[in-house]
Amino acid sequence: MLTKTSVIETITRFPDNFSIDDLADKMILLEKIEKGMQDADNGRVISEDELEKRIEEWSK
């Protein structure tokens, strides 16, 4: 989940004129990064070797 502080910090880095699409894209990216960091902190990750095995299985 995003915090108000991180949203405000992000918006202040935007140029004076921007599209709502640019803002939405950035907020979605920030939320996904935050979720990934939480997953990593909580051990919900796989090793690179496991990832390569899964990709190989999917590509068959």
pLDDT at 36 over 90: yes
Residue type, 60: K
DSSP state of 17: S
In Å, how far are 37, 55, 56 from 59, measured between CA atoms? Answer: 27, 6, 5
The whole-number pLDDT of residue 9 equals 93
In Å, how far are 23, 30, 32, 44 from 19, measured between CA atoms? Answer: 7, 17, 20, 35
pLDDT at 16 over 90: yes
Check: pTM over 0.75? Answer yes or no: no
Count: domains in the chain = 1
Domain that holds residue 51: 4-58
The whole-number pLDDT of residue 60 equals 86
pLDDT band at residue 14 under the 50/70/90 scheme: very high
Tracing tokens 């803002």 back to the chain, one arrives at: 23
The whole-number pLDDT of residue 2 equals 85
Average pLDDT, integer, range 5-10:
92
Long-range CB pairs of 11-15, under 8 A, 24+ apart, other chains included: none
